[in-house]
Amino acid sequence: MKASTTDPLDTERIRADFPVLQREIDGTQLVYLDNAATSQTPEPVIDTIAEYYRTYNANVHRGLHQLSQEASVAYEEAHDRVAEFIGASGGREEIVFTKNTTEAMNLVAYAWGLAELGPGDEIVLTQMEHHSSLVTWQQIGKKTGAEVNYIRIDEDGYLDMDHARELITDDTAMVSVAHVSNTLGTVNPVADLADVAHDHGAYIFVDGAQSVPHQPVDVEAIDADFFAFSGHKMCGPTGVGVLYGKRELLESMQPYLYGGSMVRKVTYEETTFEELPWKFEGGTPVISQGIALAAACDYLDEIGLERIQRHEHALAQYAYDRLTEFDDITVYGPPGDDRGGLVSFNLDSVHAHDLSSILNDHAVAIRAGDHCTQPLHDTLGTAASARASFYLYNTREEIDSLIEGIDDARTLFA
């Protein structure tokens, strides 16, 4: 029986699904708080991968033998499952499997951007973009002569929407924004930004790497033209990401990777390409990973994304409250209760890398560094920060372990 959307999560039962959470680091129970970097993998997903290799491993779209047929059906249906998961009513034709979010971003930047952009065009990003979008569009801007502008953030880490409306003009061709910031935890008003973009005839690319794993997402309600996310951050395997694109847009675009699998008829002179989405999946695709990603969607849906969101939200709020108790800790991002499930911070006297090394002694895994948002860190006035990020299996006790580790670091460095 599926739980109601408001029932609290039974973390003890959920934790039993994740074998790696049983690990000890030098005799201490692992506390894994680096979920924004990559999430852990539950048994049903691991089993799906093992079952594929144990029973029907074969190349897809090609062979007529039994294994290839089974693999092809499972791989193709995985696209439908992912489409359903994010509310893409066009089904598999709107879902391209890539290596990760970064590759999905590059696919659009190359296949659409290089063809469509030129001097006089503008690309609008935000100051909180991950390098996967920031560096990609910055470099496409250099190649095409398109100008790149950044929507400012305010002191609390929210987007300055007045500035957004100023920057997005009839010259804007693409608006590329993170749905949830991986550093600040800010949840951006992407549907509003989509409206602004569309009012000016621009497209919007929403980077959902930090939203899809943690909250219900409906790409059509957002009215995103493109949307991307990574399997490894949502209980799925590494090596698979997803590009959603509106069908007519994907149809109008030229392929990104040429080669086998993406073609229909090839002569020495000419080639006609496969239909969507295969036209964008050149070469042997991410077969086991794609099938396992569908299993991850099943796993998350079974538990319920509203419940996961509530759970993480409560954890993030608890962490925020505990961390802000200390005068020597700076916490970044929105002060309110509208943040995603992560908290970035700095302990005044201890560099984030030293803090992370000391926390490792407490078997507490956090991220320390620039989190692939160097320009944002410059804006925040720090080179690096520490980040604790939560998922469905985390508990308040684990946040208490984090705080104890921080106490220890403070004492050591006093």
Partner 1 sequence: MGLGSDMYRQQILDHYKNPRNYGELEDPTFSHTGENPTCGDTIRIDIVLADDEETIERVAFSGDGCAISQASASLLTEQLRGMTLTELHELDRDDVIDMLGVEISPMRVKCAVLAEKVAQDGAKIHTGEFEIDTTQTE
Residue 34 near partner 1 by CB under 8 A: no
| Residue 100 near which of ligand PLP, partner 1, none (CB within 5-8 Å, type-dependent) | ligand PLP
Which of partner 1, ligand PLP, none sits in contact with 130, Cβ below 5 to 8 A by type? ligand PLP
Region of 203-211, 254-262, 384-392, 403-411 interacting with ligand PLP (CB under 6 A): 203-211
Q: How many Å apart are CA 110 and CA 99, to the nearest integer?
A: 15
Identified binder of ligand PLP from the candidate list 40, 102, 106, 356, rule CB under 6 A: 102
Applying CB under 8 A, among 57, 238, 374, 395 the residue interacting with partner 1 is 374
| Position among 358, 366, 376, 380 found at the interface with partner 1 (CB under 8 A) | 358
In Å, the largest CA–CA distance within the chain is 72
Among 25, 37, 49, 58, binds partner 1 (CB under 8 A): 25
Q: 285-324: which residues touch ligand PLP (CB under 6 A)? A: none
Least Å distance between CB 100 and ligand PLP? 3
Q: Work out which of 2, 6, 12, 26 binds partner 1, going by CB under 8 A.
A: 26
Binders of partner 1 in range 379-408 (CB under 8 A): 382-384
For ligand PLP, the closer of residues 48 and 101 by Cβ is 101
SS (H, E, C) the chain: CCCCCCCCCCHHHHHHCCHHHHCEECCEECEECECCCCCCCCHHHHHHHHHHHHHHCCCCCCCCCHHHHHHHHHHHHHHHHHHHHCCCCCHHHHEEEECCHHHHHHHHHHHHHHHHCCCCCEEEEECCCCHHHHHHHHHHHHHHCCEEEEECECCCCCECHHHHHHHCCCCEEEEEEECECCCCCEECCHHHHHHHHHHCCCEEEEECCCCCCCCCCCHHHHCCCEEEEEHHHCCCCCCCEEEEECHHHHHHCCCCCCCCCCEEEECCCCEEECCCCHHHCCCCCCHHHHHHHHHHHHHHHHHCHHHHHHHHHHHHHHHHHHHCCCCCEEEECCCCCCECCEEEEEECCECHHHHHHHHHHCCEECEEECCCCHHHHHHHCCCCEEEEECCCCCCHHHHHHHHHHHHHHHHHHC
Using CB under 8 A as the binding rule, whether residue 359 contacts partner 1 is answered as: yes
Only one of the segments 4-12, 165-173, 208-216, 375-383 lies at the binding site for partner 1 (rule: CB under 8 A); that segment is 375-383
Using rule CB under 8 A, residue 55 touches partner 1: no
Q: Could you say which of 149, 361, 395, 403 contacts partner 1 (CB under 8 A)?
A: 361
Q: Closest approach of Cβ 102 to ligand PLP, in Å?
A: 3
Give the residue numbers annotated as catalytic, written as ranges: 372
230 binds ligand PLP (CB under 6 A): yes
Which member of 209, 319, 350, 386 binds ligand PLP (CB under 6 A)?
Answer: 209
Does 413 bind partner 1 (CB under 8 A)? Our answer is: yes
Q: Which residues bind ligand PLP (CB under 6 A)?
A: 36, 100-102, 130, 132, 178, 182, 207, 209-210, 230, 241, 372
> What are the residues binding partner 1 (CB under 8 A)?
25-26, 350-354, 357-361, 369-370, 374, 377, 382-384, 412-413
